Structures are given as C-alpha cells and as structure tokens.
C-alpha cells in the first residue's frame, strides 16, 4: 500500500511539474516574491497612498540594482543583480515576463537540461543587469525584473529552435495572430529593443539595454555550447512576446 502511494504521488508530482521543473519553479518563485511585496498591493502592512509608494521605493532600492551603489564598493550591492531577477515592479511587468519565460523557457530547458538551464538563466541575468549598470554607472534609479535573464532564454531559443513557429500579435495589423518562424520573430524583437534603447531616457522605464545584453549572451552561449549539433524542428505554435510598458522603477 505504501509503495503504491509513493508511486502515485511521484507520478502526480512529475505530471504537475512536467518536463521543465526549473522554468515552472522560477515562475512560481517570481510570483510568490511579487505577491508578498509592496508592488502587489495585497499586503495592508505596507499602507496605502504615499505610504505604499514609499514602501515600494524602499523595497526596490533594497532588492534591486542601483548602478551608482553597485560600483561604489558596497559589499551587499554585489548581490543585487541576482536578487533583482525575482522582483517586479507591477502586475503587468510580472505577467509579461512570466509569459515570456513560460513560452520560451520550457523547450530551452528541455534542450539544455535542468541544472545547466538554471545556471544559464541566473548567470546571464546577472550579467545582463551588470551590463546595464556599467553603461549607467551614475544612475540612482533602481532596476528590477527578470527580463535580462528571459532575453537570454530568447537568444538561446533562437539558436536552438530557429524554425519553431511563433504566434505573434502585431498592433499595426489589428493584433491578428500570425505565425512566423523564430528566426523572423526574435531578431525583429531584438531590433525593436535596439531602437527603443536609442530613444530611452534616463528616467524610470524599461531597461532595453539589459534586454539586448541578455539576448546576446543567450545566443552566444547556445552557439558555444551546442554549436553545429543543433538541428531541432518546430514543435508547434507558441505565442509571441507582448510589448512591455514602462513602470515606476527601471525594469527589464
């Protein structure tokens, strides 16, 4: 009886997490961190109005990347490019990033393997935030969000699954769902980030440069790690990346 129970529970757990437990675990962790933080608006302990905004600013400053502090010989600041990966500035910011991670992370994790994917995700995310901070070393704006790491996943996905069909919603075509191969959609997305980075102001908004750094890191990593051995066909349609909107803190 006990043996059967263990088999049943083990099978249920494998079914719950599927083939990509790291991707699902990262999504769950980001959602949990957001729900208990002040940006969700669910915890009355953070207050309302100006008190809630002050709590959010303090929270983002503590856990996010502040470039001016990161390069000021502050020991604790060196950890913030890792902690910032799990902090998000708004519901739109969180849901947009988690959709990206879910769509592109599952197949990438399957191809890389669990341990390698986790190290890849955190390492590229850290370096993406570090790259943004180095380019804006005098900025005192807090930078939070997982988009640097998720952009790395997109870059790796492009190399590993270039012919995979991605369903995209294009605003100038009245959001009609159109399917294109990844080698069309993802370079187009990267080009948009490049154009947006050139127009970005120094104030709060989207850290497009972190997207570009992460995307490049992911593409290079996949090329170095898998090289010419990669020849994977499409596994069906996947929804394309939605547009991000600027939030209160700098975010990726």
Cα–Cα distance measured from residue 197 to residue 203, given in angstroms and rounded to the nearest whole number: 13
Specify burial of residue 86 (Cβ count, 10 A radius: 0-12, 13-18, 19+). Answer: buried
Choosing from 90, 147, 151, 168, the catalytic residue is 147
Give me the residue label for tokens 């890389």: 112
Helices (H) and strands (E) in the chain, counts: 10, 5
Q: Is 211 a catalytic residue?
A: yes
Choosing from 88, 93, 168, 211, the catalytic residue is 211
Here the tokens at position 61 are: 């400053």
Instruction: From 72, 146, 159, select the one nearest 111 (Cα to Cα).
Output: 159
Here the tokens at position 114 are: 């669990």
DSSP 85-126: GG--SSHHHHHHHHHHHHHHHHHHHHHH-HHHHHHHHHHHHH
DSSP 129: H
Instruction: From 231, 99, 218, select the one nearest 164 (Cα to Cα).
Output: 231
Q: Is 139 a catalytic residue?
A: no
Max intra-chain CA distance, the chain:
65
Here the tokens at position 37 are: 């933080």
- Which are the catalytic amino acids? 147, 211
């Amino acid at each position: 009886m006990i043996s059967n129970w263990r088999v049943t529970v083990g099978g249920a757990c494998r079914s719950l997490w599927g083939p990509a437990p790291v991707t699902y675990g990262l999504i769950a962790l980001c959602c949990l961190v957001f729900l208990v933080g002040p940006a969700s608006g669910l915890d009355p302990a953070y207050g309302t109005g100006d008190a809630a905004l002050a709590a959010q600013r303090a929270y983002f400053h503590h856990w996010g990347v502040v470039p001016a502090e990161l390069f000021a010989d502050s020991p604790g600041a060196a950890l913030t490019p890792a902690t910032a990966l799990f902090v998000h500035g708004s519901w739109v910011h969180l849901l947009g990033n988690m959709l990206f991670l879910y769509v592109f992370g599952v197949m990438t994790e399957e191809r890389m393997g669990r341990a390698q994917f986790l190290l890849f995700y955190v390492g590229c995310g850290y370096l993406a935030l570090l790259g943004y901070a180095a380019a804006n070393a005098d900025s005192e704006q807090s930078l939070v969000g997982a988009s640097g790491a998720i952009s790395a996943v997109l870059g790796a996905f492009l190399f590993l699954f270039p012919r995979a069909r991605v369903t995209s919603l294009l605003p100038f075509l009245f959001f009609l769902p159109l399917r294109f191969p990844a080698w069309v959609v993802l370079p187009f997305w990267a080009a948009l980030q490049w154009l947006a980075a050139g127009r970005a102001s120094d104030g709060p908004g989207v850290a497009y440069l972190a997207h570009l750094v992460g995307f490049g890191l992911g593409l290079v990593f996949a090329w170095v790690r898998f090289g010419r051995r990669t020849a994977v066909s499409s596994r069906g349609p996947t929804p394309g990346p939605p547009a991000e909107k600027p939030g209160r803190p700098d975010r990726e």
